[in-house]
Amino acid sequence: MMLNSKGYPVFEGSDIISLLYNNKTVKLKNLLFLSDDIDVQKYNKFAHEFDLTKLSLYDNKDSNLDSILQNTWLMPSEYQHLDIEHLLLAKCNTKTEYDRTFLELSIFKKKQMLNLLRFLHYLVNTAKENKILIGIGRGSSVASFCLFLLGVHKINSIKYDLNFNDFLKD
């Protein structure tokens, strides 16, 4: 095991054996493994054949770390497999809203952040179920119409002509 430049532990193939031997297979899902390690590649090939938990691969560059870590977030499976694009586009009432949502979704998708939207949908629903106040909005997040549709904040970025690039640079 080693720590990457952001301090996250990254494991090698030899660590897989130790985890499996100690019956810690559930932990495999929440760990990062070196993508260039031959044992890690062999394990993932085997896991695919036998429908086991595949390892999250880390290529030693921090550029893919956020998208990898999104896959370790705990949320119910109905949210993990939710067609978030369809859900958000269905909430649009006008062509302007549809076009803006489509544009934002294409950027979220390009940046591999659709799981973030799924998690936010889960978070907002959980907060509502538990009568927790959210949605006032602050910072650059209010520039996202998708976050408005999800109920993360109450600022309609189309109405106030807010530029999405203030939130996520394309």
Q: What are phi and psi of 51, to 5 degrees?
A: 55, 50
CB atoms within 10 A of CB 143: 21
3-state SS, residue 59: coil
Note down pLDDT in tens along the chain; length 170 residues: 777 776 767 777 777 777 777 766 556 666 677 777 788 788 888 888 887 777 777 666 555 555 656 666 678 888 988 999 999 999 999 999 999 999 999 999 988 889 899 999 999 999 999 999 887 777 889 999 999 999 999 999 999 999 998 887 65
The whole-model pTM stands at 0.65
Element (H, E) at 52: none
The alpha carbon torsion through 20, 43, 1, 33 (nearest 10 deg) reads -120
Alpha-carbon distance 164 to 145, whole Å?
Answer: 8
**What is the predicted pLDDT for the residue at 106?**
95
